[in-house]
């Protein structure tokens, strides 16, 4: 229920006003950015929050809308960076996205600076987006322009996550997502244009089979094992140098409890918080079935506000006479 309920299209969910911008990418491809419509008090020096969504998701997801709304209430700028071919648009190149594609995040953050945004940069990633964010942070280390980051319900080990989705009730989510992935692939390719084995892809019954048939060959990996080995974010946690909060739940159907990293696998900049309950990007912590209360927006914003306050204190201390 923690996993399913937040995904329902309930009418009272926040609907922050956004506008669409197409982002031209260096390799000739394009993706979409949904920007939070700016409040009058928002400036180029305001904090700017970048949200990365999950597998086959978009800026319309409940968790993205909640976080955009929370940013709006604080006078921050915010945007959802879509992964290629996700949401209600199509990218140009014969490829899509995967759990280790960090080049688009890196380019977008750099572009924000070159376009004149002077305020603190923050980022939050959910599920697959969390894996992408953590991998990027580990690759960039001290070169990242981010002040802080948060990652939620992250499949830190892609091997373990794909296996977990083939066990028990987790197969329900696997079947649901596989249907969506196959439909998405079918919108972009057909058996004559696909750069992979079409029949094998359409017959895939597990994430591992789909990644081996589609994700790996479409994005230059030898097979799904090569893809999982190179893109699991667990291997990048030790080199992260920006304050980073990871929030996972032990009852997440997309993974097993042993996916939680040991302390010696983390850099000093990484904090891992593990809840006994929360499902996959659920974390309902009160309220009623008609008006549930959600933990994630409150916790993520509190973490960012703490880091922003710390930065302001450091800047004040650095000014002579203060």
Report pLDDT for 41. 64
Q: How many domains does the chain have?
A: 2
- Give 25's Cβ-side CA count (13 Å radius): 20
| Residues 140, 261 within the same domain | yes
| Residues 261, 117 within the same domain | yes
Instruction: Walk across the sheet containing 48-52 and list its strands.
Output: 18-24, 30-36, 77-81, 48-52, 121-126, 146-152, 244-249, 270-275
Report pLDDT for 196. 95
Report pLDDT for 292. 83
| Residues 197, 254 within the same domain | no
The model carries a pTM of 0.94
Residue 212 belongs to domain spanning: 158-231
| Residues 53, 136 within the same domain | yes
| Residues 71, 172 within the same domain | no
| Residues 190, 309 within the same domain | no
Report pLDDT for 251. 93
| Residues 42, 169 within the same domain | no
Q: Which residues does the annotation mark as catalytic?
A: 127, 252, 280
CA 78 – CA 51 distance, rounded (Å): 8
Q: Report the chain's mean pLDDT, rounded to a whole number.
A: 92
User: Among the three residues 191, 216, 231, which one is the final residue of a domain in this structure?
Assistant: 231
Report pLDDT for 320. 56
| Residues 124, 208 within the same domain | no
Sign of CA dihedral 28, 34, 37, 39: negative
- Only one residue has tokens 């959910």, namely 126
Report pLDDT for 300. 98
| Residues 291, 180 within the same domain | no
Residues in the chain with pLDDT < 70?
Answer: 9-12, 39-41, 317-322
Query: CATH number of the domain that 67 lies in?
Result: 3.40.50.1820
């Amino acid at each position: 229920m923690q996993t399913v309920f937040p995904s329902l299209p309930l009418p009272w969910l926040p609907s922050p006003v956004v506008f669409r911008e197409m982002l031209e990418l260096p390799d000739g491809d394009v993706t979409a950015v949904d920007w939070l419509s700016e409040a009058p008090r928002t400036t180029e020096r305001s904090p700017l929050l970048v949200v990365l969504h999950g597998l086959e998701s978009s800026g319309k997801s409940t968790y993205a809308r909640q976080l955009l709304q929370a940013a709006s209430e604080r006078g921050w700028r915010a945007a959802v960076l879509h992964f290629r071919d996700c949401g209600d648009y199509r990218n140009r190149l014969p490829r899509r996205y995967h759990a280790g594609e960090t080049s688009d995040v890196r380019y977008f953050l750099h572009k924000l600076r070159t376009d004149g945004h002077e305020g603190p940069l923050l980022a939050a990633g959910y599920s697959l987006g969390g894996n992408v964010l953590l991998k990027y942070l580990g690759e960039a280390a001290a070169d990242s322009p981010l002040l802080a980051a948060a990652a939620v319900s992250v499949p830190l080990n892609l091997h373990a996550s794909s296996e977990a989705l083939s066990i028990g009730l987790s197969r329900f989510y696997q079947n649901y997502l596989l249907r969506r992935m196959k439909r998405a692939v079918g919108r972009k390719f057909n058996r004559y244009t696909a750069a992979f084995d079409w029949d094998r892809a359409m017959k895939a019954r597990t994430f591992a089979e789909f990644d081996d048939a589609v994700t790996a060959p479409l994005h230059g990996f030898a097979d799904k094992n090569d893809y999982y080995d190179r893109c699991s974010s667990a291997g990048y946690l030790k080199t992260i140098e920006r304050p980073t909060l990871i929030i996972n739940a032990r009852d997440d159907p997309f993974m097993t409890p042993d996916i939680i990293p040991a302390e010696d696998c983390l850099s000093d900049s990484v904090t891992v918080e593990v809840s006994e309950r929360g499902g996959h990007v659920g974390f309902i912590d009160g309220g009623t079935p008609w008006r549930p209360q959600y933990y994630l927006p409150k916790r993520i914003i509190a973490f960012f506000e703490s880091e922003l306050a710390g930065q302001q204190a450091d800047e004040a201390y650095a000014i002579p006479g203060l």
